[in-house]
Chains A and B, each alone.
Chain A
Amino acid sequence: MFRFINLILLSVLVSAVNAQAQGKYPGIGRAATPAEIKAWDIDVRPDFTGLPPGSGSVAKGQLVWEAKCASCHGTFGESNEVFTPIVGGTTADDIKAGRVKALQEPMARTTFMKVSSISTLWDYVNRAMPWNAPKSLSTDEVYASLAYMLNLANIVPADFVLSEKTMGDVQARLPNRNGKVKYEGLWNIRGKGDVQNVACMRDCKIEIGLASVLPDFAQGTHGNLAEQQRHIGPARGIDTGKRVQVPANSATVSLTKSGGEAMLNLARDGNCTACHQIDKRLLGPSFQEIAAKYKADNGAESRLSEKVKTGGSGVWGAIPMPPSALRDEDIRALVRWILSGAPER
């Protein structure tokens, strides 16, 4: 939170410095430069507007996939127990019909069962994958990894090359291409919704009953919800902080950045907290669990630093930890902090 306030202060200062009269909104920022807009405007539409030219073969895609994707999604796109599978559940008949039959059954859904425009997958991989290093793929690597997935799903043959020219051919074979329904009220802002919200005038329910509650064990999963809501005006969201076990001294945040706080920030900036929490297991073990496991192990610091750097799996389960891009000395400091029990101060 304090970092956030600092950021705001900083940007207020910066914009004060920049405060030249600017067209319609004098004193408020500056117009974005064409280069900034270009870097930001990367979406690819179903009609392929925005799709950059490039190409990638299934064979090249297999190499990209194995190096950058298989650790989470599995060699065959089957995924491990955490992620939903990408490939599976579609048939040759679905490819003919453009509608996936298995969707009518209450079963887990894979990406290729659901997706109705190939542009969505291109765009998604390009902006969001690999999960631990989004936007790190070249345009050709995006084409290649997508070609590999399409081959796994039996949509294209093994010698296929995906490019801006062949995306249309793929769209015409996408198993669920005809599966999209455009409900008026959702799709068209002027469309008529399917809910008619009429104010109750007679025999109205006066007492409002609690329909569901967050079970005790899930209360603290996302921290204190009340604190994460608006900071001005009446807060919404219930207080889920009380039932979370945090060390007593972490209830207040100190203004000076002590060792622990700096480390916690580093763990956030280094993306560790996407998978680790101090006292609870997320995708990876909690920092406290790690500290407990290696309490009497003198070699742990260097071994674990190496593992964070290169990634790995098998100690806590089958889910892999991806390699970290942090500097060696930062990784080492983080591991030392984790092994000391990850104190927040």
Chain B
Amino acid sequence: MADPMKIRASVMGDKVVVKVLMAHEMETGQRKDSAGKTVPAWFIQNVIATHNGKTVLSAQWGPAVSKNPFLEFRFSGGKAGEKVVVTWTDNKGDKRSDEATIS
């Protein structure tokens, strides 16, 4: 399984700011290895963030996103102590879910 995400969620004014660092190769499918063989595409396709069970962010990604992607977003209605859960699924069907407590 992939390495855990790093997530920080903190209240800033009337919003919760969430920063996420994901560990993923994000292969574009365009690169060739030293033997000249194409390295198969392998990238995160879907990202979903939920707060109290409600989806606050849903994204469809493609191979143009960099290796180890960094994502920052904000949403309203969150309070300190509550949890934010971020989940990604990649094109091989691998999945990873991590959570952070809002501070």
Chain A positions within 8 Å of B, measured between CB atoms, are: 58-59, 62, 74-76, 78, 158-159
Given A59-B10, A62-B8, A62-B10: A75 touches B19 (CB 8 Å cut-off): yes
List residues of chain A with CB within 8 A of the CB of B21: 74-76, 78
List residues of chain B with CB within 8 A of the CB of A59: 10, 103
Chain B positions within 8 Å of A, measured between CB atoms, are: 6, 8, 10, 19, 21, 70, 101, 103
Those 5 A-B pairs whose CB atoms lie nearest each other, nearest first: A158-B103, A76-B6, A76-B21, A75-B19, A62-B10
CA distance in complex: A62, B19 (Å): 12
CA distance in complex: A75, B19 (Å): 8
List residues of chain B with CB within 8 A of the CB of A159: 103
B10 contacts A75, CB within 8 Å?
no
CA distance in complex: A76, B19 (Å): 9
List residues of chain B with CB within 8 A of the CB of A58: 103
List residues of chain A with CB within 8 A of the CB of B103: 58-59, 158-159
B6 contacts A78, CB within 8 Å?
yes
List residues of chain B with CB within 8 A of the CB of A76: 6, 8, 19, 21
List residues of chain B with CB within 8 A of the CB of A62: 8, 10
CA distance in complex: A319, B8 (Å): 23
Nearest B-chain residue to A159, judged by Cβ: B103
Nearest A-chain residue to B6, judged by Cβ: A76
CA distance in complex: A26, B101 (Å): 66
Cβ of A315 to closest chain B Cβ, rounded Å = 15
Nearest B-chain residue to A318, judged by Cβ: B66
Task: List 20 A-B residue pairs with CB atoms under 8 Å apart, sorted by A's residue number.
Answer: A58-B103, A59-B10, A59-B103, A62-B8, A62-B10, A74-B21, A75-B8, A75-B19, A75-B21, A75-B70, A76-B6, A76-B8, A76-B19, A76-B21, A78-B6, A78-B21, A158-B10, A158-B101, A158-B103, A159-B103
Nearest B-chain residue to A70, judged by Cβ: B19
Cβ of B12 to closest chain A Cβ, rounded Å = 9
